[in-house]
Structure 1
Amino acid sequence: MTHDYDPQLGLYIGGEWLNGGGRDTQEVRNPATGAVLAALPLATADDLDRALEAAQRGFLAWRATAPEARAAILARTAALIRERVDRLARLATLEQGKPFAEARGEALAAAAMLDFHAGEAVRIYGRVLPRPPGMRSLVLQQPVGPVAAFCAWNFPILNVVRKISPALASGCSIILKPSEETPGSAVETVRCFQDAGLPGDVVQCVFGVPDLVSRQLLTSPITRKLSFTGSVPVGKHLLRLAADTVMKTTMELGGHGPVLVFDDCDLDKTLDTLVAHKFRNAGQVCVSPTRFYVQQGIYDRFASGFAERTRRLKVGDGLETGTQMGPMANPRRPDAIAAMVEDARSIGARVLAGGDRAEGAGFFYNPTVIADVPLSARAMNEEPFGPIALIAPFATVEEGIEQANRLPFGLAAYCFTENGRRQNLLGDAIEAGMVAINSVRLTWPDSPFGGMKDSGYGSEDGPEGIAAHMITKVVHIA
């Protein structure tokens, strides 16, 4: 497998790929080595104006396109992603660092999402209300308009598809701003849409200085919906910009996933499942399990078993055979994790595994397990977004629920118990948009994905992801 990085980076505006032209550029780096991979052209204000104009043209044409034709393009895009899966996965690993097998699974999940939305494109229904003879009241679902979508770098293929696919299925055009740290994955994913026959005005792909791009796109009257995946502070800033034009918004913000582990769980199975999931993508996942609250009767066995399994993980370049955890995505992340670990250690927490940087080049931090973590530790209150597992004991069900709900985040939560009555109680009581019980999988094409409280609102995926791109209109006919 070659380490060559060869996408033709550029902006996609009005069906054209643009680069050069005196535009400013930003370096793209390989997080496993720190080496510069390429220079990414950044959009100018004129580029963004062109993208807005193209998106308006694209919306007028695309909303008038038959649902079956929209579905066919989504299905062809899915087929192209499967055909190009190894190339897409290699780019994602080079740019973002995750193991190749994880990146490949991400691309295949994106294809499955496209297949689902292709089916949903022909199932956007309204209804007829009962009225006296000779009258009709029709409730219609219509596409909201051009969408401005902002992606995070942690799933550079899936996040792109998660934004584009439901917008296209519903009849919207879209201007996508992927992360400047993982542009090749986004560019090659957009090429799949282009090669599937999508008209050039329907999807625009721009990179640039985030503040310039967000202000120009979100203050334009052309933009009618904001879809954002990223941090809570940035999300709140974008919401303020979006408020001036009262646009529709879907916000998928940060999390701090609690895990409640009860003493009746299958302990070995639970540990095997959680260790693999915690260190997926080096913990750089908004739904990553992070705060492990373990019932007192099994606390010591859980902590030692978690640490033992963690120490066996192979950390390295994601393109090397056998790698189970790659580097962090950029040089800022190891510094942030190191500061959190030192803070926890300084107030009495016990580091059972990791707690230090890996040797060599690249942005590596060893998978880390910390036990007896006080609630005052920074990592227990701020999203670490990295390879840290924080373990603390609890006694009763009520105490566990209180700890799970303690923070302002409410994205994902996990529970492990064989007690059916308790499972129902936890599903009702935990404040999270997604709760997994005796499982860690939360992402399915037909299932809504989203949170509550500071973790945002609105849903992506599932029929709800389509509905988020629609407006409701009623027509009364006499």
Structure 2
Amino acid sequence: MAYPDLYLLIDGQRLSGGGRRTHKVVNPATGAALADLPLADAADLDAALAAAQRGFDRWRESTPHERATVLQGAARLMVERQEELARIATLEQGKTLAEARIEVMMNVGLFNFYAGEVFRLYGRALVRPAGQRSTVTKEPVGPVAAFAPWNFPLGNPGRKLGAPIAAGCSVILKAAEETPASALAIVQCLIDAGLPGDVAQAVFGVPDEVSRHLLASPVIRKMSFTGSTSVGKHLAKLAAEDCKRTTMELGGHGPVLVFADADMDKALDTLVAGKYRNAGQVCVSPTRFIIESAAYDRFLTGFIERAKAVRVGDGAATDSVMGPMANARRLDAMDRLIGDAVAKGARLQTGGERIGNAGFFFTPTVLAAVPTDAAIMNEEPFGPVALINSYADEAAMIAEANRLPYGLAAYVWTSDAARQRRVARTIEAGMVGINTAMIGGSDSPFGGVRWSGHGAEDGPEGIDACLVTKAVHEG
């Protein structure tokens, strides 16, 4: 399919050209340029801020029915446009079409959930003596600056837009410059469903310039960010200057505890698929495999066999199981992290190399006996590499799971019900999967603790993060 035109979307107007700087968008499967993306300048950002304020003044007065109609309409359009949306995402991000189609439907589920949730933004009346009245209400926080990364080019913008629109807020979305067409397509579904053009803006630009400009403005009352811990800490400091509300979904280093009593074949089939989904470029990707020593040899052998069978190719090809990495930076990171681990004594069991000389393909990789001082055991690899180590018992396994300051997602595989509850309670993570890799859902909060951020997206918590609480007392 042809790659769509790119533009800034401000106050319902598509803006491009005009001497603006540009960013070259590249197809990860070929390395070839797809298009030039116009980048916002200060005047563009000021226009977006002004529109967002007008949009908020308008949208905060909308009824639950109006908000639900827009969200449900956008969901229907995404279903109708599923194949088009999926192909855009695959073109600019690289993931397989099968994964991209699922991503579209994740948005559909989320928007439909929020369409129902807008009718349940309840307050409460407090018990007071006769003649007095006290109420607690929820109100939209205000215009939201939302920053979305490239790894889920459809799903991340959907998360950033759905909750504030449901809450009655306006949004300025700054999605990734690597995957702009996907974000624009999601915004367009909302506009085509009746969302006023000043309620949702889409801008692109030099990330530090855009974030500083938007977060310095008193118009913005909340920031929502998904991305690395280092960038998140920087943006949180900028937001703190004006005491802006924040939702931060940051990096992870997913520990996977596999005990000897687990259903090993089910665990291996599930975890290998989860590890190499989106070429490992997933914040909740299972990464550190913490295996009870009695099961280690069997698990390692089974994982290597399955990793070698993963078919890598263009995401648009029907037989591809794993597409390319999204950009050349990730290839360089894999070379650095894997090379450092091997130099420090890790055993490279399979993979560890680039594929071909076109595009950004990398082999599914397994490292065993990885020392804890290797960089990859402490930095989020964000790539198709599994780190598999052996541990003597439950206490040692939990200690390793909690060793790092990250706390986004963790996974536990065991048939012992008491252990399931015990380990789930002890692990420091915002989300825990027990005998499953499915840890998200439209009705379930998605977020982490410690260096993996704070607050949550999805579920009722996602809308609540875009609301402020007001108590009114009448004498």
Structure 2 residue corresponding to 1:91, chosen from 69, 85, 88:
88
Pair 1:44-2:41 in alignment: yes
1:412 equivalent in structure 2? 409
Runs of 5+ consecutive residues of structure 1 not aligned to the other structure: none
Pair 1:474-2:468 in alignment: no
- Give the deviation of 1:360 after TM superposition: 3.4
Matches for 1:343-358 after TM superposition, within 5 Å: 343-358=340-355
Deviates more, 1:354-363 or 1:93-102: 354-363
How far apart are the structure 2 equivalents of 1:388 and 1:9?
A: 33
Matches for 1:421-436 after TM superposition, within 5 Å: 421-436=418-433
Q: For residues 384-429 of structure 1, give each alpha carbon's deviation from its aligned partner in whole angstroms, at most 9, with x where no partner exists.
A: 0000000000111111110000001000000000000000001100
Structure 1 residue identity aligned to 2:289:
F
- The structure 1 segments of at least 4 consecutive aligned residues displaced by more than 4 Å after TM superposition are none
1:465 equivalent in structure 2? 462
Pair 1:74-2:71 in alignment: yes
Runs of 5+ consecutive residues of structure 2 not aligned to the other structure: none
Structure 1 residue corresponding to 2:272, chosen from 247, 270, 275:
275
Structure 1 residue identity aligned to 2:109:
A
How far apart are the structure 1 equivalents of 2:92 and 2:205?
A: 17
1:374 equivalent in structure 2? 371
Q: For residues 282-331 of structure 1, give each alpha carbon's deviation from its aligned partner in whole angstroms, at most 9, with x where no partner exists.
A: 00000000000100111011111100100011001000111000111001
How far apart are the structure 1 equivalents of 2:461 and 2:280?
A: 27
Pair 1:57-2:58 in alignment: no
Structure 1 residue identity aligned to 2:430:
G
Pair 1:230-2:232 in alignment: no
- Other structure's SS at 1:343 match: helix
- Other structure's SS at 1:208 match: coil
2:434 equivalent in structure 1? 437
How far apart are the structure 2 equivalents of 1:359 and 1:206?
A: 35
1:325 equivalent in structure 2? 322
Matches for 1:283-298 after TM superposition, within 5 Å: 283-298=280-295
CA RMSD in angstroms, aligned pairs only: 0.6
1:389 equivalent in structure 2? 386
* Percent of residue pairs identical: 59
1:110 equivalent in structure 2? 107
How far apart are the structure 2 equivalents of 1:201 and 1:421?
A: 53
Query: Which TM-score applies when normalising by structure 1?
Result: 0.99
Pair 1:244-2:241 in alignment: yes
How far apart are the structure 1 equivalents of 2:382 and 2:348?
A: 18
- Give the deviation of 1:477 after TM superposition: 1.0
How far apart are the structure 1 equivalents of 2:17 and 2:394?
A: 60
1:9 equivalent in structure 2? 6
- Give the deviation of 1:464 after TM superposition: 0.4
Matches for 1:159-178 after TM superposition, within 5 Å: 159-178=156-175
- Other structure's SS at 2:362 match: coil
- Other structure's SS at 1:473 match: strand
- Other structure's SS at 1:335 match: helix
Instruction: Say how many residue pairs are matched.
Output: 475
- Give the deviation of 1:91 after TM superposition: 0.5
How far apart are the structure 2 equivalents of 1:85 and 1:217?
A: 32
Structure 2 residue identity aligned to 1:348:
G
Structure 1 residue identity aligned to 2:112:
D
- Other structure's SS at 2:323 match: coil
- Other structure's SS at 2:62 match: coil
- Other structure's SS at 2:354 match: coil
How far apart are the structure 2 equivalents of 1:160 and 1:425?
A: 36
Structure 2 residue corresponding to 1:25, chosen from 14, 22, 25:
22
Matches for 1:444-463 after TM superposition, within 5 Å: 444-463=441-460
